[in-house]
Amino acid sequence: MLSKGWDPLTISFYRGAIGLACFMAWTLLSKMKKQDVSLQLIWWSSVAGIGVAGNFTFYFLSIESTSVLIAATLMYTAPLFVMLASFLLRLEKSTWFKWGCIISVLAGIVLLTKAYDTGSSAVNFIGVATGLGAGLSYALFIFGFKNASESGRPQLVLTFAFIAFSAVLAFFIDGKEAASVFSSSDAVWFLAIGIVGAGLSFALYTIGIQQTAPSTASIIAMVEPVTASLFGVVLLGDELAIVQIIGMMIILLTVTTLSFKKGS
């Protein structure tokens, strides 16, 4: 979508807005009571929504300034932000096991994405800053959702989160470009990005995050670079180098181990 000239803010807005439609439908199909809604739920859901807005936007901006591989690596520094915040707020205990998992997965991502190749001209300050901003925003979403889910069901939390998401980005998008999406030949792609990239992915993710600690959830979510690489190999005919395969195995082994020890 970026290669076709669409603004990152427009792509992010439609991804979230279509996701909102999915979550509203999920909420309407569920049996909800008025007392399910509280100020605490709305507040923390809004925090999560702002985190998602930042994550989507900074990620696309980082891709635009650098590359998908570099942007993905920088975005998945999120566990570092989550861990530090968890320790400062005394939400989790610091253990060598958790630190080892974070270091291991980050090393695997660097190998998988070849981010160590700093000779590329694609690396620049804006790309690095926005990539790290995507990671920090992702960490904000995790904390916001974790707190909101203690006061309400996930579908309700996601609905309020993406209402906040849409409200925030509506102030920044180009209205004319956003309106042109409806008559564009890329409208189907916008719909697919929203349904799969927001509706389905967040619905599945939120079910899992409720059962884990914030740092654990953030690390497990880092299998996305692996699935993205597999997608490229199977459907696009891309090939993985030996070093990338090693990185993939490090991530999978770490995530599997962490899943069995999530209570540590």
Residue 122, pLDDT above cutoff 50: no
- Say what angle helices 125-148 and 78-88 make with each other, to 10 degrees: 50
Tokens of 255: 């995530």
| pLDDT, position 213 | 65
- pLDDT of 77: 72
Helix (H, G, I), strand (E, B) or coil at 43: helix
User: For residue 175, what are the domain limits?
Assistant: 2-260
More confident residue, 160 or 86: 160
Q: Per-residue pLDDT averaged across 188-200, rounded?
A: 90
What's the total number of domains in the chain? 1
Neighbour tally for 64: CB within 10 Å: 16
Neighbours of 33 (CB within 10 A): 6
In this predicted structure, the answer to whether residue 85 has a pLDDT above a threshold of 70 is yes
Rounded mean pLDDT of 154-182? 92
pTM of full prediction above 0.85: no
Instruction: Read off the pLDDT of each residue in 214-219 and give the average, rounded to a whole number.
Output: 63
% residues pLDDT > 70 (the chain): 75
How far is residue 125 from each of residues 122, 133, 159, measured CA to CA in Å?
Answer: 10, 12, 35
- Could you tell me the pLDDT band of residue 173, with boundaries at 50, 70 and 90? very high
Span 76-80, mean pLDDT? Answer: 72
Contact status, residue 40 vs residue 73, Cβ threshold 8 Å = no
pLDDT given at position 53: 94
**Distance between CA atoms of 117 and 130, rounded to whole angstroms?**
19
Per-residue pLDDT, averaged over 125-149, amounts to 86
More confident position, 50 or 246: 50
Q: How many angstroms separate the CA atoms of 126 and 132, rounded?
A: 10
